[in-house]
């Protein structure tokens, strides 16, 4: 697009992807693909409780240190995922039933972890997936988790307060899924996310951005207008927006690779329309990079038995059309 003389194009919105340490170590092509494609590279699993804290007294920083330092040595940025999640918590943690002890563990976990990485991570997913999946079953807008059962809803402000103390320069993010689709269920989730932001702010706490994960189902309809509204509402609260875990879940798409990729292009395109319409996103990140390795094939395989195609590079590391379109979009924003 033509710029007036003397004008400078704004820096593109950074593109990032999540990387897995075991594959980083074992597969040089995989490792190289992140350097070829990404501005931001983040550890997919290595900062979560189960990998970081297999026992109460251990902090296994090694793998995440290696990933983050490698990214930075190559001029890439990185981010942290995540302190508080319901999934896969180690037994030693979930055996705690005393709220005083649980609070101590949470505060110490964040102090030590955010403190260890201070200055090396642009942002942290402070809490992940705290919005209830089925509000009726969880008895309210928050997910029924060990954290909520043990500490109550205040585990969220505690986590944000501790993260702000431990790394004052990292942007603090509330990360969640199903914030992009059309329908009452998703309107409700967007409302809960905004409520959580306001509650944190009313409590005098800092929250810098909301992460929309972006696990996109090819057979769901994106609601770009609702996404735009969501982005504007966050902006009005002084809160940023980013897409943190994009991939495309394609088990409902009939046909072969072309049909699957065309459906992905549509759903990703609609998602980006909605994302960019509300405010300029801080980053756009996919959950992995190549179809060779993804949780989608393990969790939601295709019914016809053919391989899933969730990510921007195919299994041979060739970029799909939707990768090029996405990159164009980021450089024009
Ligand atoms: O590293 C071990 C390996 O040593 C062992 O042999 C193997 C046997 O199962 O497991 C390996 O660890 C697995 C790890 O992925 C690395 O492949 C864990 O069991 C497995 O639970 C883990 O799954 C991850 C999952 O989160 C749970 O942490 C997925 O890779 C990851 O893509 C997924 O990511 C989540 C986001 O954090 C939050 N949003 C949803 C998203 C998809 O579920």
pLDDT in tens, 172-200: 999 999 999 999 999 999 999 999 999 99
Which tokens go with 160? 């944000």
Nearest-atom index, ligand 1, CA of 245: 39
In angstroms, what is the span from residue 253 Cα to ligand 1's centroid? Answer: 25
User: Is 221 a pocket residue for ligand 1 (Cβ < 6 Å)?
Assistant: no
Is residue 6 domain-resident? no
Nearest-atom index, ligand 1, CA of 50: 28
| CA proximity to 40, closest of 2, 11, 3, 5 | 11
Is residue 209 domain-resident? yes
Whose Cα sits closest to atom 29 in ligand 1? 295
Q: What is the pLDDT of residues 315-332, one digit of tens each?
A: 999 999 999 999 999 999
User: Looking at the whole model, is its pTM more than 0.90?
Assistant: yes
pLDDT at 135 (0 to 100): 87
Whose Cα sits closest to atom 17 in ligand 1? 20
Choice from 295, 298, 310 to test ligand 1 binding pocket (greatest atom count within 8 A of CB):
295
**Helix, strand, coil percentages for the chain (3-state, nearest 5):** 45, 15, 40
User: What CATH number is attached to the domain comprising 111?
Assistant: 3.20.20.80
Is residue 3 domain-resident? no
User: Is 46 a pocket residue for ligand 1 (Cβ < 6 Å)?
Assistant: no
Here the ipTM equals 0.94
Taking residues 247-267, what's their average pLDDT?
98
Nearest-angstrom CA–CA distance, 236 and 53: 38
Is residue 28 domain-resident? yes
pLDDT range class, residue 8, cuts 50, 70, 90 = low
pLDDT at 19 (0 to 100): 99
Nearest-angstrom CA–CA distance, 77 and 36: 14
Domain count, the chain: 1
Domain of 301 in residue numbering reads as: 20-332
Looking at per-residue confidence, does 296 or 1 come out higher? 296
In angstroms, what is the span from residue 191 Cα to ligand 1's centroid? Answer: 29
Query: Is 159 within 8 Å of 117 (Cβ atoms)?
Result: no
């Amino acid at each position: 697009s033509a710029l007036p003389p003397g004008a400078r194009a704004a820096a593109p919105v950074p593109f990032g992807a999540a990387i897995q340490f075991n594959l980083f170590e074992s597969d040089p092509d995989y490792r190289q693909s992140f350097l070829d494609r990404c501005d931001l590279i983040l550890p997919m699993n290595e900062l979560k409780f189960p990998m970081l804290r297999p026992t109460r007294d251990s902090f296994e920083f090694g793998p995440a240190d290696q990933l983050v330092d490698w990214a930075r040595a190559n001029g890439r940025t990185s981010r942290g995922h995540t302190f508080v999640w319901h999934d896969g918590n180690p037994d030693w943690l979930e055996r705690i039933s005393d709220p005083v002890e649980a609070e101590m563990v949470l505060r110490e976990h964040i102090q030590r972890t955010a403190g260890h990485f201070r200055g090396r991570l642009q942002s942290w997913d402070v809490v992940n997936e705290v919005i209830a999946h089925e509000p009726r079953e969880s008895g309210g807008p928050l997910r029924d988790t060990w954290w909520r059962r043990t500490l109550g809803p205040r585990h969220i402000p505690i986590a944000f307060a501790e993260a702000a103390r431990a790394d004052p320069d990292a942007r603090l993010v509330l990360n969640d899924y199903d914030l992009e689709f059309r329908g009452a269920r998703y309107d409700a989730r967007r409302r809960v996310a905004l409520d959580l932001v306001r509650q944190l702010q009313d409590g005098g706490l800092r929250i810098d951005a909301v992460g929309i994960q972006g696990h996109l189902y090819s057979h769901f309809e994106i609601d770009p207008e609702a996404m735009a509204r969501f982005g504007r509402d966050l902006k009005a609260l002084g809160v940023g927006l980013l897409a943190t875990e994009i991939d495309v879940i394609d088990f409902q798409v009939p046909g072969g690779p072309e049909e699957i990729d065309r459906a992905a292009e549509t759903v990703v395109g609609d998602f980006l329309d909605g994302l960019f319409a509300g405010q300029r996103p801080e980053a756009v990140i996919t959950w992995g990079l190549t179809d060779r390795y993804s949780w989608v094939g393990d969790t939601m395989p295709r019914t016809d038995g053919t391989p899933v195609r969730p990510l921007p590079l195919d299994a041979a590391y060739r970029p799909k059309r939707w990768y090029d379109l996405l990159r164009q979009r980021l450089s024009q924003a």
